[in-house]
């Protein structure tokens, strides 16, 4: 996802000097060349907007240091948005002259976080400008043309560009060094910095991120184990089994993380939507049987439920619709099933796109990939903000029924409880045992009515109770 951001160009006083000329024509040429040089001197790098709901970002780590030479397309900083950590690239060659927002700092989208100098000679001037100014605190437009100009007290102003890559470059080749003789250690930029501070040898750390990528918690675990054993941290391998959650100080006040803040805003926004709830009991004997047959092939229950829901939505498009402005609603052209996933410090909803069209095996592989990326905070915006219908499943925890809160911008969310053996009366008047689960759908009553939900749930029940079409 290439993202064009506004940055301010600051002129250098030395760039305004002109050599004596022998003619007006030569003077004109000299002036033109001077103006050309002015176009790329000192630029302000702005906080990028990494998602449609992002209003501010947190600097997780600076990949490069002040004074480093940067090339176009090179990762400069890791930013924590409201949903994920993303590497941010520079769109220009130059030198990272001054960092204005340190690691751990928060800046509004569009505010300056660093200065980029074109030459070594301008680094000192950029540092002085950074020292005499503070980062902007008010949000600025997230997208802009690559170059635009305005006038400030210091002269001409140019908008530089910073882009967020479609996906972190390290993820594409994330293979643990043990499998390649230790040729390359694949770790997040923050994990590398943390390892340096804690004196942990990354070559001996086993990563828990996607494809073995080392993340910060792996480094922290390695350091903790080293401290307990009284041996150098550099010789310790992190093992998931020895990781322990950080201690909680009772009575302490803990500020929201960026993700928790985003969840909070969404939940408050959901209060403005008039919702209602409808529950339904579905027999799952046939679904359980087919799951046992395909589980060994990598099929997950989440994928089966998402597929069944998508096939039901095909027949009831109004349940897949959305109302955003209060004056109209949209029949969404795609059926994208978002599934709530709890991760450290928050909640995110990876999206299975076109779930009605994708076969169950591909859907299951995609779901595993999305969960791995979600837990490593590497999801791209289109992988979590394009859902048209949401599933929230607490059945694996033994919860038999619950209600879910409707995510803003969608028409309905379904809460799925556990499948449990239940004594039921059969149609012939006898008593028998069947596995049943409770589902409760919360819907936007501006668009969806009770009869709509009832019809949808009837269709869903038929698909789950006769799931032959799920494994095509």
DSSP state of 262: H
Cα–Cα distances (Å) from 297 to 353, 364, 418, in that order, read: 21, 10, 23
| Coil, helix or strand at residue 315 | helix
Residue 185: per-residue pLDDT:
67
pTM over 0.95: no
- CA 444/CA 468 separation, integer angstroms: 31
Residue 80: per-residue pLDDT:
79
- CA 125/CA 237 separation, integer angstroms: 45
- CA 13/CA 155 separation, integer angstroms: 9
Beta carbons within 10 angstroms of residue 62's beta carbon: 21
Angle among Cα 240, 246, 247 to the nearest 5 degrees reads: 140
Angle among Cα 56, 85, 355 to the nearest 5 degrees reads: 105
Cα–Cα distances (Å) from 188 to 72, 110, 371, 415, in that order, read: 20, 25, 18, 35
Active site residue 39: no
Residue 138: per-residue pLDDT:
36
| Look-up of token digits 């010789």 | 235
Give bridge partners of residue 322 from the DSSP assignment.
Answer: 330
| Coil, helix or strand at residue 384 | coil
Cα–Cα distances (Å) from 283 to 307, 436, 448, in that order, read: 17, 4, 25
Helices (H) and strands (E) in the chain, counts: 10, 21
| Coil, helix or strand at residue 15 | helix
Count of residues in the chain? 472
Cα–Cα distances (Å) from 441 to 170, 308, 318, in that order, read: 40, 15, 14
Please compute Rg for the chain using Cα positions.
Answer: 27
With beta carbons less than 8 A apart as the criterion, state whether 435 and 442 touch.
Answer: no
Residue 148: per-residue pLDDT:
35
Residue 155: per-residue pLDDT:
37
Helix axes 360-375, 301-315, angle to 10 degrees: 120
Phi/psi for 114 (5° steps) reads -165, 165
- CA 421/CA 335 separation, integer angstroms: 32
Dihedral (Cα; 85, 91, 93, 98), 10-degree rounding: -50
Q: Residue 25's Cα: distance from chain center in Å?
A: 56
Is the four-CA dihedral 301, 307, 313, 319 of positive or negative sign?
Answer: positive
Angle among Cα 382, 342, 274 to the nearest 5 degrees reads: 75
Residue 235: per-residue pLDDT:
44
Point out the residues of the chain with pLDDT beneath 70. 1-40, 51-53, 82-83, 133-185, 209-212, 228-247, 345, 472
Angle among Cα 369, 374, 376 to the nearest 5 degrees reads: 100
């Amino acid at each position: 996802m290439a993202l064009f951001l506004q940055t301010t160009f600051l002129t250098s006083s030395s760039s305004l000097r002109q050599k004596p000329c022998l003619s007006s024509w030569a003077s004109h040429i000299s002036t033109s060349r001077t103006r050309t040089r002015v176009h790329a001197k000192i630029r302000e790098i702005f906080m990028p907007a990494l998602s449609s709901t992002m209003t501010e970002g947190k600097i997780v780590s600076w990949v490069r240091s002040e004074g480093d030479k940067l090339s176009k397309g090179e990762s400069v900083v890791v930013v924590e948005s409201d949903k994920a950590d993303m590497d941010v690239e520079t769109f220009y060659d130059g030198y990272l002259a001054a960092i204005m927002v340190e690691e751990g700092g928060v800046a509004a989208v569009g505010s300056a976080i660093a200065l980029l100098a074109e030459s070594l000679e301008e680094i000192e001037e950029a540092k002085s400008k950074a020292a005499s100014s503070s980062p902007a605190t008010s949000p600025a437009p997230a997208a802009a043309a690559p170059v635009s100009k305005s006038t400030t007290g210091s002269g001409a102003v140019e908008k530089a560009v910073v882009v967020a890559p479609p996906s972190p470059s390290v993820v594409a080749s994330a293979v643990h060094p043990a499998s390649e003789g230790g040729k390359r250690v694949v770790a997040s930029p923050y994990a590398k910095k943390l390892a340096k501070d804690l004196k942990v040898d990354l070559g001996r750390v086993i990563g828990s991120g996607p494809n073995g990528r080392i993340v910060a918690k792996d480094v922290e675990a390695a350091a903790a184990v080293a401290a307990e054993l009284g041996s150098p941290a550099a010789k310790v391998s992190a093992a998931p089994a020895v990781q322990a959650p950080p201690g909680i100080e009772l009575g302490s006040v803990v500020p929201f993380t960026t993700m928790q803040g985003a969840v909070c805003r969404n939940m408050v926004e959901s209060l403005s939507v008039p919702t209602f709830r409808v529950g339904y009991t579905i027999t799952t004997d046939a679904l359980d049987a087919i799951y046992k047959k395909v589980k060994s092939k990598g099929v997950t229950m989440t994928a089966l439920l998402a597929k069944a829901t998508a096939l039901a939505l095909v027949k009831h498009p109004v349940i897949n619709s959305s109302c955003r402005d209060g004056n109209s609603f949209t029949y969404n052209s795609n059926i994208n099933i978002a599934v709530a996933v709890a991760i450290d410090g928050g909640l995110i909803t990876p999206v299975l796109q076109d779930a009605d069209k994708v076969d169950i095996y591909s859907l299951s592989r995609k779901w595993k990939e999305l969960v791995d990326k979600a837990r490593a905070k590497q999801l791209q915006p289109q992988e979590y903000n394009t859902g048209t219908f949401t599933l929230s499943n607490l059945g694996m925890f033994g919860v038999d029924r619950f209600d879910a809160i409707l995510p803003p911008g969608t028409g309905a969310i379904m809460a799925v409880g556990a499948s449990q053996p239940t004594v039921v009366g059969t149609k012939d008047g006898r008593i028998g045992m069947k596995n049943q689960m409770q589902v409760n759908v919360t819907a936007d009553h501006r668009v969806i009515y009770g009869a709509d939900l009832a019809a949808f749930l009837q269709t869903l029940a038929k698909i789950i109770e006769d799931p032959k079409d799920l494994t095509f």
